[in-house]
């Protein structure tokens, strides 16, 4: 993986002030260094500048970027972040049409594919990616993003200049682009956060390229094109055929995503999803006489303080023990201590340039940092619940009929901290309701869908479009912050497109949640794991951790110097801090409850302070 950034202005000659613009590109590169510490490159022409930082995974010596190829008497240049999993097939197809290659990199395959058939080539690409291509002859810049937004790509039109970057911090390197936030941005933070409306970057005047879209920029005109979207179709396969085809698509995705010129590893929680990915990887590596490396996550004294609840029924450790013995993997248990988890709330905010999933994010940042000391590539079980219907809101009537985002059914807890005048100005309820209605309007409902199936189709779409995107953002930023490439086989576009249309009675046959996936996994896992009840990403229940958070937020409120006090009510918040913590009533998803709200408010403070946010209320 890599970090990409750059700018384009067809009315300015950057070469007239070449040192000045090269310095900007160098600053962009430095800002994204964590995404690609192996090498960096800069490209500058009269109207376009590209910057690239590289994490070398495929063809370490041949895939240097920016990469330029001369074609039809013109230069075409690419900067690319991602992995192309069908590189071999696409290369062979292009060679059959007379295209030649200098390297073995997927970067060159993408560029040559674009040269051969233009932007429509992206529809053939199976992978995770964000990339920019500049067509010098036609003075045209293209920005592409993968089908489900695994890889990020932000942009801003500043006067006549289009600026883009893998992360907002790259855009802030461009002179004059200061971080400002208006009411819409605050509605995202306090109403939807840590989720975001697709394309909304929170920052004023900034946006994010939509998943499954590409942009073109020419003569200050910016155009948006959709090349992929989830579509609803009647499902005509029998149950037996569905299991077989789903299994084929899943195994194909996992095996494809193992491609690497450096050793791979997997995250192993002992749950169905990560265990299945790990088992397939272990089997493939054994064929080559290799042993899979696996990692599991836990927290200091978790066995002592763990509190089972409806959302998190069991600890992971006993199931990890079963799986690491079953796989015969080289396993490492990673443990995050309380102070590290609290201290990394700031770094996790910096990795996103925004408040994020609080300690759910900071702990993963810690674990990725440890894994990156030995590996550059990891496969994860992320996204299986969104695709196969693993969350409670797929099968509980109160969620199915809630008429809002099911992972945030009630905004009252969020609003309780805001100053009255801020709450009135933001109108969070109407903002969230409007976002929800706009989202479900995108869903294709089939005439054959009854009310319940219609609700599930909408919830499935919302999960992939919103909730899954939040988790993908978390995985990208926490892994890439330490130069670790995380791959997500369950987010394969062929698999997701197929399973999206499988009816619920097949996904949860005999009333068993994710039974379709369990049937696909039976040959790869012991029954104890195959039929384990879902338990999400682990979190700490240690009282000292919550005590740390309370002390830190209380200190900020007491000094009266935090910019957070412009938005939240001090007395209401202090009253909350003096109450006993509640772990069983999440205000977002399944993990973010009372203690995570304290951590989230701390992240908002860090964000407002560190970025010197210019608030436009």
CB-CB neighbours of 534 under 10 Å: 19
Distance between the two ends of the chain, CA-based, in angstroms? 38
CB-CB neighbours of 522 under 10 Å: 14
Catalytic residue among 2, 265, 336, 520: 2
Active site residue 2: yes
Nearest-5° Cα angle at 376, 589 to 350: 50
Task: Provide the 8-state DSSP code for 338.
Answer: H
Give the residue among 136, 164, 158 at the shortest CA–CA distance from 77: 136
How far CA 310 is from CA of 98, 362, 443, 535, 586, in Å, comes to 59, 24, 30, 9, 11
The answer to whether 292 and 329 have CB atoms below 8 angstroms apart is yes
Three-state secondary-structure class, residue 449: coil
Q: Please, what sign has the CA dihedral across residues 417, 191, 488, 537?
A: positive
C-alpha to C-alpha distance for 478 and 368, rounded to whole angstroms? 7
Give me 227's structure tokens: 């090349």
C-alpha to C-alpha distance for 158 and 220, rounded to whole angstroms? 10
Parallel, antiparallel or unpaired: strands 127-135 and 74-84 = antiparallel
The answer to whether 216 and 142 have CB atoms below 8 angstroms apart is yes
C-alpha to C-alpha distance for 98 and 616, rounded to whole angstroms? 55
C-alpha to C-alpha distance for 141 and 592, rounded to whole angstroms? 40
Q: Dihedrals φ, ψ of 51, to 5°?
A: -130, 145
With tokens 């202090």, the residue in question is 574
C-alpha to C-alpha distance for 471 and 32, rounded to whole angstroms? 21
Q: What size, in residues, is the chain?
A: 617
The answer to whether 184 and 578 have CB atoms below 8 angstroms apart is no
Q: Which residues have a catalytic role annotated?
A: 2
């Amino acid at each position: 993986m890599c970090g990409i950034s750059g700018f384009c202005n067809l009315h300015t000659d950057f070469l007239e002030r070449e040192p000045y613009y090269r310095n900007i590109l160098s600053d962009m590169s430095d800002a994204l260094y964590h995404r690609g510490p192996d090498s960096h490159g800069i490209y500058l022409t009269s109207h376009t500048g590209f910057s690239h930082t590289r994490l070398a995974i495929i063809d370490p010596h041949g895939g240097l970027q920016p990469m330029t190829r001369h074609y039809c008497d013109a230069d075409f240049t690419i900067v690319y972040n991602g992995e192309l999993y069908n590189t071999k097939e696409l290369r062979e197809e292009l060679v059959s049409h007379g295209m030649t290659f200098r390297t073995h990199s997927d970067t060159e395959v993408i560029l040559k594919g674009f040269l051969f058939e233009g932007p429509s080539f992206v529809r053939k690409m199976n992978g995770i990616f964000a990339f920019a291509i500049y067509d010098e002859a036609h003075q045209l810049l293209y920005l592409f993003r993968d089908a489900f937004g695994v890889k990020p790509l932000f942009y801003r039109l500043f006067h006549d200049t289009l600026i883009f970057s893998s992360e907002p911090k790259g855009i802030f390197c461009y002179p004059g682009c200061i971080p400002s936030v208006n009411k819409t941005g605050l509605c995202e933070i306090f109403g939807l956060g840590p989720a975001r409306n697709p394309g909304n970057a929170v920052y004023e005047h900034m946006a994010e390229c939509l998943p499954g879209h590409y942009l073109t920029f020419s003569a200050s005109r910016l155009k948006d094109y959709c090349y992929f979207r989830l579509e609803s179709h009647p499902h005509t396969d029998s149950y037996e055929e569905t299991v077989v085809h789903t299994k084929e698509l899943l195994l194909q995705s996992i095996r494809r995503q193992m491609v690497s010129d450096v050793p791979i590893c997997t995250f192993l929680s002992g749950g169905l999803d990560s265990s299945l990915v790990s088992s397939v990887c272990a089997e493939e590596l054994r064929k080559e006489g290799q042993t899979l490396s696996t990692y599991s996550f836990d927290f200091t004294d978790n066995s002592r303080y763990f509190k089972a609840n409806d959302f998190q029924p069991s600890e992971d450790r006993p199931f990890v023990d079963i799986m690491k013995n079953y796989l015969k993997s080289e396993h490492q248990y990673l443990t995050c201590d309380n102070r590290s988890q609290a201290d990394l709330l700031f770094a996790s905010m910096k990795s996103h340039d925004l408040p994020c999933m609080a300690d759910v994010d900071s702990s993963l940042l810690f674990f990725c940092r440890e894994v990156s000391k030995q590996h550059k590539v990891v496969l994860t079980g992320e996204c299986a619940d969104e695709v196969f219907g693993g969350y409670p809101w797929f099968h509980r009537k109160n969620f199915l009929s809630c008429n809002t985002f099911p992972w945030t059914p009630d905004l009252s807890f969020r609003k309780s901290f805001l100053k009255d005048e801020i709450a009135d100005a933001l109108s969070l309820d109407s903002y969230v309701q409007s976002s929800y209605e706009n989202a479900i309007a995108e869903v294709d409902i089939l005439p054959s869908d009854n009310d319940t199936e219609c609700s599930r189709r909408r919830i499935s779409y919302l999960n992939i479009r919103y909730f899954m995107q939040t988790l993908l953002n978390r995985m990208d930023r926490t892994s890439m912050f330490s130069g670790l490439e995380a791959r997500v086989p369950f987010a394969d576009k062929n698999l997701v497109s197929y399973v999206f249309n499988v009816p619920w009675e097949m996904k949860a046959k005999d009333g068993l949640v994710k039974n379709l996936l369990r049937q696909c996994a039976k040959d790869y896992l012991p029954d104890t794991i195959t039929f384990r009840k879902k338990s999400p990403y682990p979190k700490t229940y240690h009282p000292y951790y919550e005590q740390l958070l309370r002390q830190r937020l209380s200190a900020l409120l007491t000094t009266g110097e935090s910019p957070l006090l412009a938005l939240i009510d001090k007395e209401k918040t202090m009253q909350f801090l003096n109450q006993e913590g509640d772990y069983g009533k999440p205000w977002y998803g399944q993990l973010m409850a009372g203690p995570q709200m304290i951590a989230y408010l701390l992240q908002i403070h860090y964000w407002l302070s560190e970025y010197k946010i210019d608030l436009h209320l």
